[in-house]
Amino acid sequence: MNPVVEPLVAIVTTDLSAVTRGRSVTQSRLEKVAGTGIGWLQANISLTPFNSIANPNPWGSSGDLRILPDLNARYRTSLTGAETPFDMVPGDIVELDGKPWLGCTRTMLRDALADLKAATGLSVVATFEQEFQIFGADFRAAHSLSMEALRRADPFAPQLMAALEQAGVSPEVIIAEFGDDQFEVTHAPTDALTAADRCVAIREITRELTRNFGWEATFAPKAAPDAVGNGVHIHFSFVDVNGDPVTYDPALPGRLSAKAGSFCAGVLRHLPALTVLTASSVSSYYRLKPHSWSSSYTWLADKDREATLRICPTVSIGGRDPARQFNIEYRAADATANPYLSLAAIIRAGLEGLKANLPTPPLVTGDPSEMTAEERQSLGLVRLPETLEAALEALQADTVVTGWFAPVFIQSFAGVKRAEIARFAGMEPAAICDTYRKLY
Ligand code: GLU
Ligand code: MG
């Protein structure tokens, strides 16, 4: 790079279509800019993934906002193969006087965490496990999970891990996954806000690196209707005010503490309404089907990958303590959903369960899709919405869930989703998946 060209840093926000957008300044100006941020506008929350603004939207052409960069959340790496470093700082959207803006999903997550802590003393530890596929690489066919499947892409995997490490997202494992040309990358558990920031950084760094290989990464939930899905699995656990783990209780079913059980009950109770917030596109609903290892019913289970809430295993090798490893995985999420909003909604639903002191839901074994309607009813199992439209209706029908947000925010969200539904009306699932594949 020409040494007189100063690299840029992007101040970003992630929107209701999970698109990360922002404005950039030269790196040396970041500190100065941080005090008042960069310009933004209300109508941006009504942007669709198709470079249009949902119409109608509650905002119109007037109004201005700022994005204040969170300097504690800077993700920078010079290892993406680009001319200048990747440098991204997530920010909070505020009014011109610095007051939080009602449409900022990062603020929603921070507020949900603060309310959970105030009401229960609990903090959330979280991690996002993300699957994606690579197109355009002309890879030789390879066996799922095989040595060859990862090595044929060399040096993609080590370069991605190095870039993520340098950016500070603490990557853990990279896998050549089960699907065709599918990969997965995980990061170390951390506080929930940082986890959502890392989720965004991982997507953007992965996309940039694959672009610079001349390939295309897609995090879309289904690259084709019958393809293996690309899931986003959100793992969570709780610590108390002293930082001690409180999710685990070996004396109780599933080893789930009473508090974690109440939290899960709240999530399952509101799950039909939450689904559109965590699986937000038309193609999301081709993934949320039985026998896809995604999730399809309001279902808590111990170590079962078909469940929506899966109690994850712990290892005792070398005498390791299970309490701190113990966590629950929410599997009805994908990368067309905003990760801040997803986590905020899960936490708000869990908090409802805690406030109502709900009992731990039954641990389901077996396959809900093969049970009789009576069996499902006795276990409280409800099918998740089967289309984006039904999911949006389920959200709007649950006034507890809509009550967590400003009405104009729900109106904006519904506007974007309706624009998405209208965009694909009458199209074949294969063409719909193909469009999303290129967009995500
Ligand atoms: N690909 C599956 C999904 O769509 C997940 C497979 C796994 O358990 O990792 O969520
Ligand atoms: Mg996986």
Rounded to the nearest integer, the mean pLDDT of the chain is 97
The C-alpha atoms of residue 133 and residue 57 are separated, in whole angstroms, by 33
CB-based contact 222:283 (threshold 8 Å): yes
**Comparing C-alpha atoms, which of 184, 157, 188, 153 is closest to residue 170?**
188
Output the pLDDT for position 3. Answer: 79
Those residues whose beta carbon sits under 5 angstroms from the ion ligand 2 are 184
CA-proximal residue: ligand 1, atom 3 (nearest): 231
Over range 70-85, report the average pLDDT: 98
End-to-end CA distance of the chain: 29
The two tokens of residue 282 are 């038309």
Which residue has 């095989």 as its token pair? 146
Spell 226-237 as b/e; 16+ CB within 10 A means b: ebbbbbbbbbbb
CB-based contact 309:254 (threshold 8 Å): no
Ligand 1 centre to CA of 177 (Å) is 9
Query: Would the pTM of this model clear 0.85, i.e. be above it?
Result: yes
Output the pLDDT for position 312. Answer: 97
Q: Which ligand is nearest to the CA of 228?
A: 1
Query: Which structural domains are found in the chain, ordered by start?
Result: 8-52+63-101 (3.10.20.70), 107-439 (3.30.590.10)
pLDDT digits (tens, 9 = 90+) for 158-207: 999 999 999 999 999 999 999 999 999 999 999 999 999 999 999 999 99
CA-proximal residue: ligand 1, atom 10 (nearest): 231
CB-neighbour burial class of residue 316 (10 A; exposed 0-12, middle 13-18, buried 19+): exposed
pLDDT digits (tens, 9 = 90+) for 128-152: 999 999 999 999 999 999 999 999 9
Q: Which residues neighbour 195 within 8 Å (Cβ) at sequence distance 6 or greater?
A: 126, 127, 128, 187, 189, 339, 343
Strands 182-187, 309-311: pairing kind = unpaired
Distance, CA of 194 to chain centre: 12
- The atom number, within ligand 1, closest to the CA of 184 reads 9
Which residue has 């950039």 as its token pair? 24
- The atom number, within ligand 1, closest to the CA of 182 reads 1
CB-based contact 80:157 (threshold 8 Å): no
CB atoms within 10 A of CB 218: 23
CA-proximal residue: ligand 1, atom 7 (nearest): 293
